[in-house]
Amino acid sequence: MEPSSNPTPPCPTPWGRTGRSRRGPPIPHRRSGPLLVSMVTGGGRAESREAGRSGSRRPGEGRRAGAEENRAGRCPAAMPSPRSSPSRRAAPIPSPSRRAAPGPSPSCAAVALRSLLAADLRFSRQLGVCAGERSAWGSARPLLRLLEVSGHGVPWLAGTLYGLGRSESPAGREVLLNLLFALVLDLVLVAVVKGLVRRRRPTHNKMDMFVTISVDKYSFPSGHATRAAMVCRFVLHHLVLAIPLRVLVVLWAIIVGISRVMLGRHNVTDVAFGFIMGYMQYNVVKYFWLSPLSAPALFAVWNQ
């Protein structure tokens, strides 16, 4: 008499059911050696009982045996997933050859520009001797503020409009009308460049300027420098002045530009670019010069 043994449970499928296509070959019943020997030789009851105990399995033991067989590799579906393997969990160590290469080194032009800006800031701060009342030359600050007003756009616009309304000479009216055109052009170009560059004013500047607008919080270029250079060139070309007065006009333009740095309003490069820009603005005014022949309607309005 052979003892009954529980068959090994089939491999579970992904849908939780047992399929014949994924079930392995049938496992033959295990025959216990001591049991067969006892039956043939007629051994004692103790041997038969011992063989029966070892041959027969409980339901729990059959399940554990099936699980052990699955782990041994008979059922590939029940093997541990590759995600839980330690080799997949460990982060790969990047090799030195796969590390990100450093960014491109700055060009010589970029390094030179940074050095120039750093020197500009340092030099401008040293020249800002009238930036405040407690500065080295703080007592000269009121005088420099008068120069600031003399180069401001509002007094020049107001004076030009007043002279244009009071003038009775056609030649004088033509000159004043073109000067008004030059002043308006200067305001527009400076505002556009300041809005594009957006360079902040020096940190030691005291915001107590005369009649500022939204773009005046920016520093590049200096509007006083552009206006001084443009007006200086305009006056020297269209007004008949004695030599001392011509020298005085040139000195006025230069001192206005220097005072912007001494007051801490601008950096040195702001004033230098402002002089160049104002000098070139007169070429634009000269090219689009307004005359009774080029703009008859405009002169007809002022003649009335």
In a domain? residue 183: yes
Domain's final residue, options 127, 150, 165: 127
Q: Are residues 220 and 154 both part of a single domain?
A: yes
226-254 tens-digit pLDDT: 999 999 999 999 988 899 999 999 999 99
Q: Are residues 267 and 153 both part of a single domain?
A: yes
Average pLDDT over residues 32-57: 45
Tell me the pLDDT of the chain averaged across its residues: 75
Phi, psi for residue 187 in degrees, rounded to 5? -65, -40
Upper half-sphere CA count for residue 209 (Cβ side, 13 Å): 26
In a domain? residue 9: no
Q: Are residues 154 and 188 both part of a single domain?
A: yes
Q: Record the pTM.
A: 0.63
Average pLDDT over residues 27-54: 45
Q: Are residues 288 and 247 both part of a single domain?
A: yes
- By C-alpha distance, which of 188, 268, 192 is closest to 225? 268
In a domain? residue 115: yes
Q: Are residues 298 and 152 both part of a single domain?
A: yes
State the residue range of the domain holding 76. 32-127
Q: What is the pLDDT of residue 42?
A: 46
3-state secondary structure (DSSP) of residue 218: strand
Q: What is the pLDDT of residue 283?
A: 94
Contact indicator for 237, 246 with CB cutoff of 8 Å: no
Q: Are residues 109 and 151 both part of a single domain?
A: no
Q: What is the pLDDT of residue 21?
A: 46
The neighbour count for residue 278, using CB atoms within 10 Å, is 29
Alpha carbon dihedral 130, 277, 176, 160, in 10-degree steps, equals: -30
Q: Are residues 84 and 189 both part of a single domain?
A: no
Q: What is the pLDDT of residue 54?
A: 46
Q: What is the pLDDT of residue 47?
A: 45
- By C-alpha distance, which of 203, 206, 156, 199 is closest to 181? 156
Average pLDDT over residues 60-73: 53
Q: How far is 99 from 113, CA to CA, in rounded Å?
A: 31
Q: Residue 17, class by beta-carbon neighbours within 10 Å (0-12 exposed, 13-18 middle, 19+ buried)?
A: exposed
Phi, psi for residue 218 in degrees, rounded to 5? -95, 160
Q: How confident is the model at residue 11 (pLDDT cuts 50, 70, 90)?
A: very low
Q: What is the pLDDT of residue 34?
A: 46
94-110 tens-digit pLDDT: 555 555 555 567 778 88
Q: Are residues 153 and 86 both part of a single domain?
A: no
In a domain? residue 8: no
Would you say residue 76 has pLDDT above 90? no
Q: What is the pLDDT of residue 33?
A: 47
Strand partners for 218: 200
- Indicate if 29 belongs to the active site: no
Q: How far is 60 from 54, CA to CA, in rounded Å?
A: 14
Q: Are residues 66 and 146 both part of a single domain?
A: no
Phi, psi for residue 303 in degrees, rounded to 5? -70, -30
Average pLDDT over residues 274-288: 94
Weakest mean pLDDT among 102-111, 118-127, 234-243, 277-286: 102-111
Q: How far is 235 from 175, CA to CA, in rounded Å?
A: 10
More confident residue, 10 or 111: 111
Q: How far is 22 from 243, CA to CA, in rounded Å?
A: 112
In a domain? residue 26: no
Q: Are residues 58 and 203 both part of a single domain?
A: no
In a domain? residue 17: no
The H helix count followed by the E strand count for the chain is 12, 0
Q: How far is 39 from 61, CA to CA, in rounded Å?
A: 25
In a domain? residue 133: no
Q: How far is 39 from 20, CA to CA, in rounded Å?
A: 37
Q: Name the CA radius of gyration of the chain, rounded.
A: 49
Q: Are residues 112 and 164 both part of a single domain?
A: no
Domain's final residue, options 106, 127, 148: 127
Q: What is the pLDDT of residue 248?
A: 95
In a domain? residue 248: yes
Q: Are residues 284 and 212 both part of a single domain?
A: yes
- Indicate if 204 belongs to the active site: no
Q: How far is 11 from 66, CA to CA, in rounded Å?
A: 9
Q: How confident is the model at residue 164 (pLDDT cuts 50, 70, 90)?
A: confident
Domain's final residue, options 73, 108, 127: 127
More confident residue, 115 or 76: 115
Choosing from 152, 204, 224, 238, which is the catalytic residue? 224
266-277 tens-digit pLDDT: 999 999 999 999
Domain count, the chain: 2
Q: Is the dihedral of CA 15, 21, 23, 29 positive or negative?
A: positive
Q: What is the pLDDT of residue 188?
A: 94
